C-alpha cells in the first residue's frame, strides 16, 4: 500500500513539473561583446543624413531609401538603414551624421554650411568614394545638389582627428564603399565614348558632304562650322545636327545635289556607323583601365582598413564588400558590353578586397555581393515582391532630384512597396536594409563577436 | 579460441543467473511496476528552411538532452504490458545550421515527451532477462522556449526580442529494451525508443520552420514491482 502511494507521488511530481508553464520568452538579449560605440565609414548605403539639410530636408528626405517612419502603413517601412538597425541591436544611441551640409545651387536651397557634429560617428556620405573626393552629385560634376562626397580616406582621418588619433578598441566599425568608384568611372567612360563617337561621326559626315563641292576644302570648313554650332546649341537633336550640316553642304558651290535625301542619306548612315565604331573602339580600349582602377580602389580600401583603422586600435571591423551593381535597376538598360564591364569592375574590386582582408582576424568580411545578387535573382525566400522596379516615383513632378534621397511616404509609386528591393535605381528599401543587417549579424555571430 | 571460450562462459553464467532468478515474480499479469532513471534523447532529423524572409538554407540544429524519467507499467497478461512514461523537461539547445552554421546557440526549449506503449515481454515473468518490444505514441509538448540576443540579431536586427514557440505534436514511437531482474522486486532495464516527430516552430517575426526531430531515446532505469 505504501509502495502504491510512492508511485502515485512520483507521477504527481512529474505531472506537476509538466504544468510548469508555457512561457516563451526572448531570453537574454545581451551580446557577448559590449560595443562602446559604432563608427561608420562609407557611402549612401550607410549615410544617416549627411544631406538632411536645406531643400533636401524640406522635401522630407535625407537618407537614401524610403525616408520616414511609415511603420503604421507597413511594419517594413522603418525608414532605417542597416547601420541604424545594428546600433539598436547593440543598444547604442541612434547613429547621427558626423558632418552635414551641401555645396550646391543656393537658389535651390542646396547651399548649406558644412557642420561637424561632435559625438556623431557615422561618417558615411552619399556619393563618397574610397579616396577620390569627387563622387556622384559633387559640385565639381556640375550637380546642383553639391553633395559633399567626402571620401572614406578622409572620413577616417576626420574621426581620428577628434579621437586623439586612436580607436578605443571597443567600438564596432562598419565599412562599406566602392560603388561610387564604379559609377564615376562608368560616367567618365560613357562621356569619353560619346565624345569619340561624335567626333568620328562629324569628321566622316563633313568629309562626305563636302566631297562633291567645287572646292571641297572650303565646303568642309563651312559644313564643319554649321555642324559644330548646331551641336553646341541647347535643345539640339541628332536630326537637327544632320539637317544643319546638310543644309550648309547644299549651298556650297557645285554641291546642290547633296541636299537630296537619296544622296545625303547614305552619307549620314555611314557617318553614324563610323561614329558607333569609334565609340565602341574607345569603350574597348578604355575598359581595362576602369577594371584596373577598381583594383586600385580596393587595394586602397584594404590599406585604409589595415593601416588606418586596425593599426590605430580598432578590434571589431565589419567590411561589407560591394553589392551586385549588375542586377540593380540602374544596369537594366546597359548593353551586354557595358554590363560585362560593370560586372568585371565589381568582381575585381571584391576579389581584391576579399583577398586583402582574408587573413585579418579583426575583420568580419561580409559578402554583401552574394546576398544582393541572390536577392535579385532568387527573391522568393527573402520575401521580396519586386526586384526590378524602384519603389519611389522618380518623375520630376514627384521627385525633384530623381533620387531616393528625397523619397518618402508622399512620393512612392502606387501599391504596396514595403517589400520591394529598390527605392531608386541603386538604393535599397528599408526592408532590404533589414536583410543586410541580419546578414551582417550572421557574420558577426560566426566571428564569435555576438 | 579464447573468444569462443569467453562466449561459452558468458552463456553459462547467464543461464546460471537465470536459474537463480527463477523465482522472481517479474511483471506478471495484474502487477504494477514503476521505474525511475535517466533518459537521453538524440534528435536525428534535420530542419527545413526557415520561411521567408530568410536567407536560403537557414536551418536549425537541435542538440542532445538528458533528463530524469518516471515510467509505470501494468501487466495485462504475463507477456503483455501497458506502459506510461513521463519525464522531467528535456532542455533542448537550438543552434544555427545550414547557411547559419557557426552562429552558435540561438535558443533553448523544454520538451516533455509523455508516452504510452503496449509492450510484448518475452520469456516467463520469472526469467532474469526479459527483452521487450513496444509500440506506442509520444505526445511532444514544448515549453519555456527561450530566445537570445543572437536569435534577435539574426532574425530581426534592431527589433524587439524575438520569441518563438514550438507546436505540440503526437508521434508514433517504437520501443525495444531489456529488463534485468535483480530480485523478485527490483529490476534494472534499458530501453531504446525511436519516434517519428516533426514539429513546427513559429517565430515572433512571423516566420515558421518545420523541424524533424525524430528523437532516439535511450533510457536506463531502475524499477520496483508492487
HEC per residue, A92-154:
CCCCCECEEEEECCHHHCCEEEEEECCCCCECCCCCCCCCCCCCCCEHHHCCCCCECCCCHHH
Q: Do A86 and B157 touch (CB under 8 A)?
A: yes
Residue B223 has pLDDT above 60, yes or no: yes
Give the distance between the most distant pair of CA atoms in chain A: 133
- Of A28, A84, A381, nearest to B158 by CB-CB distance is A84
Residue A14 has pLDDT above 60, yes or no: no
Distance from CA of B106 to the nearest CA of A (A): 10
Under 8 Å between Cβ of B169 and B204: no
Q: Is the sign of the CA dihedral B3, B7, B12, B13 positive or negative?
A: positive
Q: What are phi and psi of A219, to 5 degrees?
A: -60, -45
Residue A17 has pLDDT above 90, yes or no: no
pLDDT band for position B225 (50/70/90)? very high
Q: Do A89 and B54 touch (CB under 8 A)?
A: no
Q: Do B162 and A26 touch (CB under 8 A)?
A: yes
Q: How many CB contacts within 8 angstroms connect chain A with chain B?
A: 155
Cell numbers that stand for A108 in this block: 535651390
Residue B21 has pLDDT above 60, yes or no: no
Please give the pLDDT value at position B23: 38
Cell numbers that stand for A121 in this block: 560617428
Q: Do B144 and A24 touch (CB under 8 A)?
A: yes
CATH, residue B174:
2.40.160.20
**Distance from the first to the final alpha carbon of chain B:** 45
Pick from B140, B90, B135: which is nearest to B114 by CA? Answer: B140
Q: Give the pLDDT confidence of A144-154 residue by residue, as tens digits.
A: 999 999 999 99
pLDDT band for position A23 (50/70/90)? confident
Chain B (37-96) residues lying within 8 Å, Cβ to Cβ, of chain A: 49, 52-56, 70, 72, 86-89, 96
**Distance from the first to the final alpha carbon of chain A:** 56
Rounded CA Rg of chain A: 29
- Of B88, B146, B156, nearest to A17 by CB-CB distance is B88
Residue B17 has pLDDT above 70, yes or no: no
Residue A7 has pLDDT above 60, yes or no: no
Q: Do A438 and B150 touch (CB under 8 A)?
A: no
Q: Do A18 and B72 touch (CB under 8 A)?
A: no
Under 8 Å between Cβ of A135 and A149: yes
Q: Which of A3-17, A222-236, B6-20 has the lowest mean pLDDT?
A: B6-20
Q: Which of A16-30, A360-374, B173-187 has the lowest mean pLDDT?
A: A16-30
Residue A18 has pLDDT above 70, yes or no: no
Q: Which chain B positions have a beta carbon within 8 Å of A29's beta carbon?
A: 148-149, 152, 161
Q: Give the pLDDT confidence of A108-147 residue by residue, as tens digits.
A: 999 999 999 999 999 999 999 999 999 999 999 999 999 9
Average pLDDT over residues A12-16: 49
Rounded CA Rg of chain B: 22
pLDDT band for position B63 (50/70/90)? very high
Q: Is the sign of the CA dihedral A122, A128, A134, A136 positive or negative?
A: negative
Q: Give the pLDDT confidence of A218-263 residue by residue, as tens digits.
A: 999 999 999 999 999 999 998 999 999 999 999 999 999 999 999 9
Looking at the complex, does the CB of residue A15 fall below 8 Å from at least one CB of chain B?
A: yes
Q: Which chain A positions have a beta carbon within 8 Å of B184's beta carbon?
A: none
For residue B53, whether the previous peptide bond is cis, meaning omega lies within 30 degrees of 0, is yes
Please give the pLDDT value at position A5: 56
Please give the pLDDT value at position B16: 36
Residue A10 has pLDDT above 60, yes or no: no
As beta bridge partners, residue A129 has none
Least CA distance to B158: which residue of chain A? A89
Q: What are phi and psi of A428, to 5 degrees?
A: -80, 160
Q: Which of A331-335, A413-417, B19-23, B67-71 has the lowest mean pLDDT?
A: B19-23
- Average pLDDT over chain A, rounded to an integer: 94
Please give the pLDDT value at position A19: 46
Residue A71 vs residues A76, A79, A431: alpha-carbon distances, Å: 6, 8, 11
Please give the pLDDT value at position A176: 98
| 3-class secondary-structure state, position B79 | coil
DSSP A332: T
Please give the pLDDT value at position A3: 52
- Percent of chain B predicted with pLDDT > 70: 88
Average pLDDT over residues A380-398: 97
Chain B (155-214) residues lying within 8 Å, Cβ to Cβ, of chain A: 155-165
Domain that holds residue B156: 2-225
User: Exposed, middle or buried by CB within 10 Å (0-12, 13-18, 19+), for A397?
Assistant: exposed
Distance from CA of B180 to the nearest CA of A (A): 20
Q: Do A371 and B164 touch (CB under 8 A)?
A: no
Residue A24 has pLDDT above 80, yes or no: yes
Quote the CA–CA distance of A89 and A211 in Å, as a whole number: 74
Please give the pLDDT value at position B3: 52
Q: Do A24 and B49 touch (CB under 8 A)?
A: no
Q: Do A450 and B149 touch (CB under 8 A)?
A: yes
Which of A85, A381, A439 is most worth mutating to test chain B (most B CB atoms within 10 A of its CB)? A381
Quote the CA–CA distance of B114 and A215 in Å, as a whole number: 107
Q: Give the pLDDT confidence of B112-166 residue by residue, as tens digits.
A: 999 999 999 999 988 999 999 999 999 999 999 999 999 999 999 999 999 999 9
As beta bridge partners, residue B135 has B118, B174
Residue A407 vs residues A68, A99, A392, A423: alpha-carbon distances, Å: 9, 21, 6, 8
| C-alpha dihedral, A341 to A347 to A353 to A359, nearest 10° | -160
Please give the pLDDT value at position B28: 84
Under 8 Å between Cβ of B167 and A33: no
- Average pLDDT over chain B, rounded to an integer: 90
Q: Which chain A positions have a beta carbon within 8 Å of B108's beta carbon?
A: 27
Which of B149, B156, B168, B224 is most worth mutating to test chain A (most A CB atoms within 10 A of its CB)? B149
- How many domains does one find in chain B? 1
Amino acid at each position: 500500500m505504501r509502495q502504491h502511494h510512492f508511485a502515485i507521488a512520483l507521477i504527481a511530481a512529474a505531472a506537476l513539473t509538466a504544468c510548469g508553464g508555457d512561457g516563451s520568452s526572448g531570453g537574454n538579449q545581451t551580446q557577448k561583446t559590449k560595443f562602446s560605440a559604432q563608427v561608420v565609414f562609407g557611402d549612401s548605403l550607410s549615410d544617416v543624413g549627411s544631406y538632411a539639410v536645406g531643400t533636401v530636408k524640406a522635401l522630407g528626405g535625407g537618407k537614401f531609401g524610403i525616408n520616414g517612419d511609415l511603420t503604421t502603413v507597413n511594419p517594413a517601412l522603418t525608414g532605417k538603414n542597416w547601420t541604424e538597425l545594428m546600433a539598436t541591436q547593440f543598444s547604442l544611441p541612434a547613429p547621427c551624421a558626423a558632418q552635414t551640409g551641401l555645396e550646391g545651387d543656393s537658389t535651390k536651397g542646396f547651399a548649406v554650411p558644412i557642420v561637424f557634429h561632435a559625438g556623431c560617428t557615422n561618417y558615411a556620405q552619399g556619393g563618397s568614394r574610397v579616396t577620390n573626393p569627387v563622387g556622384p552629385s559633387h559640385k565639381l560634376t556640375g550637380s546642383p545638389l553639391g553633395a559633399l562626397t567626402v571620401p572614406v580616406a578622409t572620413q577616417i582621418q576626420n574621426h581620428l582627428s577628434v579621437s586623439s588619433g586612436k580607436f578605443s578598441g571597443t567600438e564596432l566599425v562598419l565599412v562599406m564603399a566602392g560603388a561610387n568608384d564604379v559609377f564615376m568611372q562608368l560616367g567618365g567612360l560613357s562621356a569619353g565614348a560619346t565624345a569619340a563617337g561624335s567626333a568620328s561621326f562629324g569628321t566622316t559626315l563633313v568629309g562626305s558632304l563636302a566631297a562633291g563641292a567645287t572646292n571641297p576644302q572650303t565646303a568642309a570648313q563651312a559644313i564643319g562650322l554649321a555642324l559644330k554650332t548646331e551641336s553646341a546649341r541647347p535643345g539640339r537633336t541628332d536630326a537637327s545636327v544632320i539637317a544643319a550640316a546638310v543644309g550648309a553642304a547644299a549651298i556650297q558651290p557645285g554641291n546642290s545635289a547633296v541636299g537630296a535625301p537619296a544622296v545625303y542619306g547614305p552619307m549620314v548612315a555611314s557617318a553614324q556607323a563610323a561614329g558607333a565604331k569609334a565609340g565602341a573602339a574607345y569603350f574597348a580600349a578604355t575598359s581595362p583601365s576602369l577594371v584596373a582602377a577598381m583594383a586600385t580602389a580596393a587595394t586602397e580600401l584594404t590599406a585604409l582598413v589595415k593601416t588606418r583603422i586596425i593599426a590605430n586600435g580598432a578590434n571589431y571591423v565589419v567590411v561589407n564588400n560591394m553589392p551586385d551593381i549588375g542586377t540593380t535597376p540602374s544596369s537594366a538598360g546597359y548593353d551586354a558590353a557595358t554590363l560585362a564591364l560593370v560586372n568585371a569592375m565589381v568582381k575585381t574590386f571584391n576579389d581584391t578586397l576579399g583577398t586583402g582582408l582574408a587573413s585579418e582576424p579583426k575583420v568580419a568580411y561580409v559578402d554583401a555581393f552574394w546576398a544582393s545578387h541572390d536577392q535579385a535573382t532568387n527573391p522568393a525566400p527573402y520575401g521580396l515582391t519586386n526586384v526590378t522596379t524602384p519603389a519611389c516615383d522618380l518623375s520630376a513632378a514627384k521627385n525633384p532630384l530623381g533620387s531616393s534621397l528625397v523619397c518618402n511616404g508622399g512620393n512612392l509609386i502606387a501599391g504596396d512597396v514595403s517589400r520591394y528591393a529598390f527605392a531608386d535605381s541603386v538604393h535599397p528599401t528599408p526592408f532590404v536594409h533589414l536583410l543586410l543587417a541580419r546578414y551582417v549579424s550572421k557574420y558577426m555571430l560566426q566571428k564569435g563577436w555576438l | 579460441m579464447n573468444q569462443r571460450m569467453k562466449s561459452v562462459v558468458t552463456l553459462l553464467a547467464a543461464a546460471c543467473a537465470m536459474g537463480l532468478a527463477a523465482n522472481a515474480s517479474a511483471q506478471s499479469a495484474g502487477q504494477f511496476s514503476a521505474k525511475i532513471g535517466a533518459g537521453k534523447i538524440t534528435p536525428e532529423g534535420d530542419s527545413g528552411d526557415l520561411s521567408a524572409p530568410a536567407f536560403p538554407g537557414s536551418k536549425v540544429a537541435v542538440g542532445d538532452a538528458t533528463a530524469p524519467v518516471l515510467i509505470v507499467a501494468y501487466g495485462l497478461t504475463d507477456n503483455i504490458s501497458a506502459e506510461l512514461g513521463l519525464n522531467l523537461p528535456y532542455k533542448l539547445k537550438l543552434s544555427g545550421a545550414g547557411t547559419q552554421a557557426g552562429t552558435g546557440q540561438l535558443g533553448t526549449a523544454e520538451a516533455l515527451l509523455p508516452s504510452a506503449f503496449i509492450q510484448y515481454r518475452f520469456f516467463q515473468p520469472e526469467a532474469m532477462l526479459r527483452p521487450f518490444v513496444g509500440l506506442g505514441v509520444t505526445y511532444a509538448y514544448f515549453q519555456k522556449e527561450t530566445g537570445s540576443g543572437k536569435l534577435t540579431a539574426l532574425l530581426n536586427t534592431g527589433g524587439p526580442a524575438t520569441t518563438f514557440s514550438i507546436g505540440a505534436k503526437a508521434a508514433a514511437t517504437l520501443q525495444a529494451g531489456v529488463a534485468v531482474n535483480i530480485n523478485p522486486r527490483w529490476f534494472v532495464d534499458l530501453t531504446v525508443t525511436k519516434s517519428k516527430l516533426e514539429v513546427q516552430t513559429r517565430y515572433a517575426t512571423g516566420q515558421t520552420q518545420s523541424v524533424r526531430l525524430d528523437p532516439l531515446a535511450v533510457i536506463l532505469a531502475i524499477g520496483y514491482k508492487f
